[in-house]
Amino acid sequence: MEKIIDRLFDWDKISTKLIFLLFLITGILLFIPDNYLQNLKLESFISEYGKYIGITFISTVGFLLVSFTSYIISVIRNKRATIKIKSTIVKNINQLTYPEIFALREFLINGKSTLQLPFLDETIISLENKMIIYKASNTGVSAIRGQYWAYSISEYALPYINNHLLKIPTELNDEIKAKIENERPNWSLDNSFR
């Protein structure tokens, strides 16, 4: 039904503020007490154009109802989509592979919220497809080891990224530090863009 209405009228081009103003003016003219109409010298105007004012009032009420309903439907759809995206991200976070975990560790190791990552790396592609990271800029850079784009962790995934998920123990000794260093992705060795 909404698509049919959208085809008949391009609602985006009609100013809701203007329609609301027409609604207020016609509503006031229709429902104002007669003594105010006499003081404002509007009774002859109302008697001559009253039917047009009434039609305009009914039309603006209809338009505002359709606009309000469309807005409510849009808000509900957006909330449902957000909930679905959040649940998908949480599910994906719980199913991360070791290479994906090691790639996410780089954000913690470098202490940055945005990193230059190789966008053709299958692990980075997988994290992007799982909506855990996203491209934070429109351009990339070339390096010795390939092409890099700025990536950030998505706002929905960020609360779940912690030391436990990244398999980093609370107590770090030299052996664990060496293990973590050995698990770093090959592309992390090129620190020229970090």
Task: Return d(Cα 4, Cα 35) in angstroms, integer.
Answer: 44
Contact criterion met (CB below 8 Å) for 128 and 113: no
Q: Are 166 and 105 in contact (CB under 8 A)?
A: yes
Instruction: Please give the model's pTM, rounded to 2 decimal places.
Output: 0.69
Walking along the chain (194 residues) 10 residues at a time, the average pLDDT comes out as: 61 79 91 86 85 93 92 96 96 95 93 91 95 91 82 95 90 88 84 45
Identify the CA nearest to 137 among candidates 123, 149, 154.
Answer: 149
List CB contacts of 114: < 8 A, sequence separation 6 or more. Answer: 136, 150, 151, 152
Beta carbons of 56 and 39 less than 8 angstroms apart = no
